[in-house]
Structure 1
Amino acid sequence: MAEALDRAVVHVVDDDLDLGQSVARLLGRHGHATRAFSTPQAMLEAQAQEAAHCLVTDVMMGDTDGFSLAEQIRQRDPGVAIIFMTAWPTTANAVDAIRRYGGLDYLEKPLDEDRLIDAVAEAVAWSRRRRAALLCIAALTPRERDVLERLAQGMSNKMVAAELGLSPKTIEDHRAAIVAKTGASGSAGLIALMRDISD
């Protein structure tokens, strides 16, 4: 079955297991396959067995906080979307959550259910786009990746050739290979592909 038709996997981590399970049940009622964990380590072990599209994690949890968990999971799986939740919101943490730790949202407890549901839906869509883009990029050679990065910056074939010390014909050949491997055609498609792996 195509991934778009599959239920998205959502992991919820909160040292208050009752709350975590409550969030997981709510998201389960909206079509997601959910699991709740009371420790980051338990979640990481589960993630190794079944990769989640979205992680909803508390920020403050005993020995390991949600930001530390985010760093660990980003190293293991750059395709998982992260949503932070906290009972102690601060502007500094909100900025860090998004900019430094790659969170897609930062929610205040008690959670607004509609906002949580919308945030998870957006996170799942982001994860699916990112995983598809990463899969496409993985098929490219290092040189094709170099060419793609420059084309996605709006450089012409001649400009890329000059920067990489190659002939325009070689760049055209690389561009054709990139299109064949990724399905991304035209400048807009190449830009969108790079955006999906760097967002």
Structure 2
Amino acid sequence: MAVIDADEQVRDQVARQVEAAGIIAQSYDTLDQFVTRRAGGEQVVLVGDDTPTALGVCEHLRSQGFWLAVIAYASRPSLRRVVAVLRGGGYDYFSLPLDTAALLRSIDQLGDGNAPYVAARQRAAAARTRLAHLSPREREVLARMAGGHSNKVIGIELGISPRTVEIHRANMLSKLGACSSTEALRMYFEEHLLNGAAARPEG
């Protein structure tokens, strides 16, 4: 497990609690240090939700196309903050001092890294990376495809011809490396549903 916290005192306290519970902890001062020094075997990242924020860690992992279980903690977490982290891809959130028994139960739900939840999150991260290569118009076309709209309806909504929609559709499939529209839609729903966004047409 990785522990990231800019506050040395809090970081050491959390690491000691984790290790007392039987989990090997590797401490990092910052997200940058974690990125450059991590061994690569961590499945769980415990983050003090101050500096850096847990959302920043989640966003970095998504930008790299993979997912780890980001568990945030804070002395007095607000409900708004907890919701923001969980919707942003975080796995769990705890108050300090850590309830190590509850933390262990949460981690146990991850299994050995091949549990359905973990696999789904990893697919979502990979999907987001591919979708990031689409142009705004290609994303609009894909979002409307996800709404069940035909090329004709999509063209009317976007003010373009059905033929232009087909061109955007072909380019989109090529960029995604998708063999079919169904595969492209699977990526769309994985990225949107598993990362907390509503899967509905944009705009």
TM range (shorter): 0.5 to 0.7
Equivalent positions of 1:74-153 (< 5 A) are: 74-78=58-62, 79-81=66-68, 82-85=70-73, 94-99=82-87, 101-107=88-94, 109-112=99-102, 113-119=104-110, 121=113, 124-153=118-147
**Which residue pairs with 2:46 in the alignment?**
56
Tell me, in whole angstroms, the C-alpha distance in 2 between the residues paired with 1:38 and 1:153. 43
**Which residue pairs with 2:175 in the alignment?**
181
| Per-residue CA distance 1:22-75 (angstroms, 9 max, x = gap) | 57x63x7xxxxxx62254x2x43222565876523355xxxx36xx52233245
Shift of 1:133: 0.8
The structure whose residues are more often helix, as a share, is 1
Tell me, in whole angstroms, the C-alpha distance in 1 between the residues paired with 2:152 and 2:140. 14
Tell me, in whole angstroms, the C-alpha distance in 2 between the residues paired with 1:49 and 1:150. 42
Which has the higher relative contact order, 1 or 2, with Cα contacts under 8 A spaced 6 or more apart?
Answer: 2
Change (3 A) 1:38 1:153: same
Tell me, in whole angstroms, the C-alpha distance in 2 between the residues paired with 1:80 and 1:147. 27
Change (3 A) 1:152 1:22: farther
**Which residue pairs with 2:164 in the alignment?**
170
Change (3 A) 1:89 1:138: closer
Change (3 A) 1:146 1:95: closer
Tell me the secondary structure at the aligned position of residue 71 of structure 2.
Answer: strand
Does the 8 Å CA contact 2:58/2:90 hold for their aligned counterparts? Answer: no
Change (3 A) 1:13 1:128: same
Q: With the length of structure 1 as denominator, give the TM-score of the two structures.
A: 0.63
Change (3 A) 1:76 1:93: closer
Shift of 1:118: 1.7
Does the 8 Å CA contact 2:17/2:100 hold for their aligned counterparts? Answer: no
Q: With the length of structure 2 as denominator, give the TM-score of the two structures.
A: 0.62
- Structure 2: where are the runs of 5+ without partners? 6-10, 196-203
Identity over aligned pairs, percent: 24
Change (3 A) 1:111 1:38: farther
1:193 aligns with 2:180: no
Change (3 A) 1:116 1:75: closer
Tell me the secondary structure at the aligned position of residue 103 of structure 1.
Answer: coil
| Per-residue CA distance 1:47-104 (angstroms, 9 max, x = gap) | 2565876523355xxxx36xx52233245443544223568777666434424x5422
| Per-residue CA distance 1:171-191 (angstroms, 9 max, x = gap) | 12322332343216345x444
Q: Which residue identity does 2:16 align to in structure 1? A: D
- Structure 1: where are the runs of 5+ without partners? 1-9, 29-34
Shift of 1:161: 0.7
Q: How many residues are treated as equivalent by the alignment?
A: 172
Tell me, in whole angstroms, the C-alpha distance in 2 between the residues paired with 1:111 and 1:89. 19
**Which residue pairs with 1:7 in the alignment?**
none
Tell me the secondary structure at the aligned position of residue 161 of structure 1.
Answer: helix
Shift of 1:149: 2.2
Tell me the secondary structure at the aligned position of residue 101 of structure 2.
Answer: coil
Change (3 A) 1:53 1:191: farther
Computed over aligned residues only, the root mean square deviation of the Cα atoms, in angstroms, reads: 3.6
Q: Which residue identity does 1:117 align to in structure 2? A: D
